[in-house]
Amino acid sequence: MSAERPFEVAIAGGAVVGAALARALRGTRVALISPETRPPRTDAAVNAPDIDAHVNGGFDSRVYAISPGNAAFLAQLGAWGAIPEARRTPVHAMRVYGDDGASLIEFDAYRSGCSELAWIVEDRLLQDALWRGLENQDGLSLVSGSSIQELEIAETQASLLLEDGRTLGARLVAGADGARSLVREQTGIPSEQHAYAQTAVVANFACGRPHRNIALQWFQGGRKEGAVLALLPLPGNHVSIVWSVGNAEASRLLALDARGLAQEVAAASCHALGGLDLVTPPRGFPLQRLVAQRLVAPRIALLGDAAHVIHPLAGQGANLGLQDARMLAATIGGREPGRDPGELRLLRRYERARAEDILAMRAAVHGLFRLFDAKGARVAQLRNAGLNFADRIPVLKNLLMRHAMD
């Protein structure tokens, strides 16, 4: 056990969710433990106003659709403005097509009285923005280039053994260490995990027709193993795709040459954006569903993918994680003076506050996946009728949107 005064919070993992939590805890004595080292980014290509320079500098093929609520949270943290404005692409409308080629549900920001439904930002730029200035943050100790190897929970503090042999003490360990969370596993919090037998193929393309800031999505149905293709707007005439397909199909797509892949994506998206040209090499992400049965244990709180992993068809995984970070920081920041941040009764406030949102989003996303993965003409008819029906009920659409925009 470390002889030094324990940190109030040790955060395991410094990707989007862990870094956001670290920023939100400004002023608290925090250790942020991240295996990755992240030098501040000074890449001129990122800041250049010319879109062509961005393409040459390279778009990141991993992008997030960030909800307006989380964009506001990131702005409060000082991270939103650190993403160059030209690389934050607003989504003004969204069209989701069923697998019969005709049914459709449309969401429109303007008609709903808001300026955008979401923002598309690149993973690398978001992470850079979150890390910028962290090294000078009041109360924060950065422990980068090392990971947690072992965790021991005692009455008054948790002890963390790091890969480099150091030990740290903390009143609370926040596990933002992703789907294979060591914090979750070593604390014995049970989780339910299920592989979707799908891989998400991501890549960026230049498109022949303007995307007009509209996100497009096609459910391809049971005959295509529940495949879902999304085209998300990027700066200029560029789009990022997330194409969730069966594992064998993903291997086939990833092995195609640039032209072959562009042709397949253009055909699957009904040539909605004209011809496509690949601008970043494709990457594949195996998909799974995971739910931790508890978010908290004595001196432990889980957040982000350590607590819940959902299918990317609704683009909500990181959004849920950022909401966790918001709520955990508010719980810690709002506690009574002198109260131990690792106390289980306090942590239960966080768990209770997050339970409903997480359950609702998990159920909606998995439900949609199952509905569009199911085979058979009758079920196909029903799901497509359901899309059309939902499209005609403004109250229902507003409810769906409000949930995704938080």
Ligand X SMILES: Cc1cc2nc3c(=O)[nH]c(=O)nc-3n(C[C@H](O)[C@H](O)[C@H](O)COP(=O)(O)OP(=O)(O)OC[C@H]3O[C@@H](n4cnc5c(N)ncnc54)[C@H](O)[C@@H]3O)c2cc1C
Decide: is 325 part of the binding site for ligand X (CB under 6 A): no
Decide: is 231 part of the binding site for ligand X (CB under 6 A): no
Decide: is 117 part of the binding site for ligand X (CB under 6 A): no
Residues between 333 and 392 with contacts to ligand X, criterion CB under 6 A? none
Distance CA 333, CA 204 (A): 40
The binder of ligand X chosen from 68, 169, 282, 304 (CB under 6 A): 304
Decide: is 189 part of the binding site for ligand X (CB under 6 A): no
The binder of ligand X chosen from 98, 312, 341, 342 (CB under 6 A): 312
The binder of ligand X chosen from 12, 22, 231, 404 (CB under 6 A): 12
Q: Which stretch binds ligand X (CB under 6 A): 21-29, 81-89, 170-178, 262-270?
A: 170-178
The binder of ligand X chosen from 35, 57, 58, 246 (CB under 6 A): 35
Decide: is 74 part of the binding site for ligand X (CB under 6 A): no
Q: How far is the CB of 63 from ligand X (least distance, A)?
A: 6
Q: Which is nearer to ligand X, 269 or 316 (CB)?
A: 316
Strand-strand pairing, 167-175 and 7-12: parallel
Distance CA 373, CA 229 (A): 13
Q: Which is nearer to ligand X, 37 or 381 (CB)?
A: 37
Q: How far is the CB of 33 from ligand X (least distance, A)?
A: 5
Decide: is 200 part of the binding site for ligand X (CB under 6 A): yes
Decide: is 204 part of the binding site for ligand X (CB under 6 A): no
Q: How far is the CB of 102 from ligand X (least distance, A)?
A: 26
The binder of ligand X chosen from 6, 7, 9, 14 (CB under 6 A): 14
Q: Which stretch binds ligand X (CB under 6 A): 6-14, 100-108, 332-340, 350-358?
A: 6-14
Which residue has 């069923």 as its token pair? 98
Residue-wise DSSP of 264-282: HHHHHTTTTT-SEEEEEEE
Check: CB of residue 175 under 8 Å from CB of residue 299: no
Q: Which is nearer to ligand X, 314 or 380 (CB)?
A: 314
Binding track over 125-154 against ligand X, x by CB under 6 A: ----------------------xx------
What amino acid occupies position 33? I
Q: Sign (positive/negative) of CA torsion 132, 71, 127, 319? A: positive
The number of residues making up the chain comes to 406
Decide: is 16 part of the binding site for ligand X (CB under 6 A): yes
Residue-wise DSSP of 158-227: EEEEETTS-EEEEEEEEE---TT-HHHHHHT--EEEEEEEEEEEEEEEEESS--TTEEEEEEEEGGGTTE
Helix (H) or strand (E) holding 333: helix 317-333
- Rounded to 5°, the CA angle 394-397-400 comes to 155
Q: Sign (positive/negative) of CA torsion 370, 375, 376, 377? A: positive
Cβ-proximal residue to ligand X, closest one: 304
**For 270, how many CA atoms within 13 A lie in the half-sphere containing its CB?**
14
Q: How far is the CB of 289 from ligand X (least distance, A)?
A: 12
Decide: is 176 part of the binding site for ligand X (CB under 6 A): yes
Decide: is 65 part of the binding site for ligand X (CB under 6 A): yes
Count Cβ atoms within 10 A of the Cβ of residue 230 and give its class: 0-12 exposed, 13-18 middle, 19 or more buried: buried
Q: How far is the CB of 13 from ligand X (least distance, A)?
A: 3
Residue 22 is encoded by which pair of tokens? 């670290």
Alpha helix segments (H runs only) across 49-100: 51-57, 68-76
The binder of ligand X chosen from 8, 99, 128, 177 (CB under 6 A): 177
Backbone angles phi, psi at 339, to 5 degrees: -75, 140
Q: Say how many residues touch ligand X, by CB under 6 A.
A: 32
Q: How far is the CB of 100 from ligand X (least distance, A)?
A: 25
The binder of ligand X chosen from 316, 323, 331, 384 (CB under 6 A): 316
Distance CA 346, CA 363 (A): 27
Which residue has 């009041």 as its token pair? 138
Chain residues binding ligand X by CB under 6 A are 12-18, 33-36, 64-65, 147-148, 176-178, 182, 200, 202, 242, 285, 304-305, 312, 315-319, 321
